[in-house]
A and B are shown apart, each in its own frame.
Chain A
Amino acid sequence: MTELTTETAGATEAPGTAGTVRGAQERFAPPTRFAVPGRIAVSPQDASVWRTATLTGIRRETPRVSSFRFAVPGWPGHLPGQHLMLRLTAEDGYVAQRHYSIASAPDDSGHIELTLDHVEGGEVSGWFHTVARPGDRIEVRGPLSGFFAWPADRPALLVGAGSGVVPLWSMVRFHRSRDMRVPLRLLVSTRSPEDLIFAREMRSETTPVFTRSAPEGEAVGRLGAAHVAPFMAKQPPGGWEAYVCGSNSFAEHASRLLVAAGQPVERIRIERFG
């Protein structure tokens, strides 16, 4: 079987990235079917350089979540779904590093946005939510990871929970900014309407699932088979590429639902926030 080779060779030139695309060179292809062949290759150069990012704006999304806009000179561009590594450095040289998904769509503005949940007592998210102000400088390296990227080449079924919606929202923004025709749907699980990140921007592509409290007349409950079924019943030509993002327990739950509903495992990509 040569699933991996076929997939790799079929990777498309990604719009808006400087990343080089893996060629169809002879490589060992495991005899096992690969669940998540990379969509695009990541440039080793971009992955290894730390760049200074200057905070230019903060926008509140929900009581616990804000978006942070940065100017990043030399940002090589990204695809929606990719993340970066961010580091904060204390005066004694102590460093804290975390991964964050890129929330903004790729554009040529030299800016990127991150959207951060305020984790109780969180070392890095705590600094952002209580100390950071425009003009502050931090460091980032990336973009990283090609397997969760969406080059807008296949219909996408996005399934997220909590801050797991962030990389998926970059895909929605990308889709809108280029006025794309390729089908894209978002199924997002949230505790309550107040906790729904990007709620103001959501339109008919989004189906929210409320787990604790819902708007008047809407159901409260966990994401279940009934939420997934309509998407599986109405498949676009070529089927969905599923992107699942959230906590590990959500990712396990959602990916099992998709498999049970008939989504092929090799077309489910998972990003776990831990």
Chain B
Amino acid sequence: MTGEWQRRRRVRQRLDRIFAAVFLLAIALSLLTLVVLLWDVVRDGARWLRWEFLTSYPSRIPERAGILVPLVGSLWVIGLTALIALPLGVAAAVYLEFYAGDSWLSRLIEANIANLAGVPSIVYGLLGLAIFVRGLHLGRSVLAAALTMTLLVLPVIIVATREALRSVPVSLIHGAYALGATRWQVIRTVVLPTAAGSIMTGVILAISRALGETAPMITIGAWAFITFLPRHPLDGFSVLPIQIFNWAARPQPAFQQLAAAGIVVLLAVLLSLNAVAIWLRNKYQKKAEW
């Protein structure tokens, strides 16, 4: 009896160890894919990763092709998106946290935000095409793209900002009210300055999502072959992911390598944005502890 029990116990413990390895393997495989992907992209793109690649205009000849136009276009789009989405998102979050209470209206808005977060990005592209490009006659412009991206990232910004607002100590808020401050004064002078660091972190992370979005940009008609830099929100434009998509979709290996080089540039911009976000978060946390 006891012998049988001990034997089963050994089997169970061996199973436990085996499955620990299996579960660990799942993580390892996932992370391995990530490593292989990055390595593959860098290897493919290495040949084109030169300074001229960053400073050249597009070309039908791979040797002369560069990424300047979509790079600048991407910076335009995310910059303008940030400019529009930041105040809108923060205002909406402030409304939900400090004004809405528990009304049917606030529940409606919250349900909308939750649902919008699950809408496929390409559907936002269809919306942007119908409303901004055609309805408001903005054409296939930087502004139309930024407005589309604003709607896309708004739910993310609102959720992140609400979390940041909630982390402001209630004691500070009550301290300000006790001095006779109005609600908006409390928000403007105490809540927003205190939460600014984590709000910015959330906004940058949301914006970096917009940087990689391709499908809605294609839908609203960003052009891959465009030979001028946007100077104006109503100018046409291209963005990094669209250029990458176009190069990748061509059969010639040279263009596919250009796509890889473009991906490296895209990931580098993404990485810098994330680095800024992390730096902001650390800076903010240190201040909060102090």
A binds B: no
Which residues of A are at the interface with B, using a C-beta cutoff of 8 A?
none
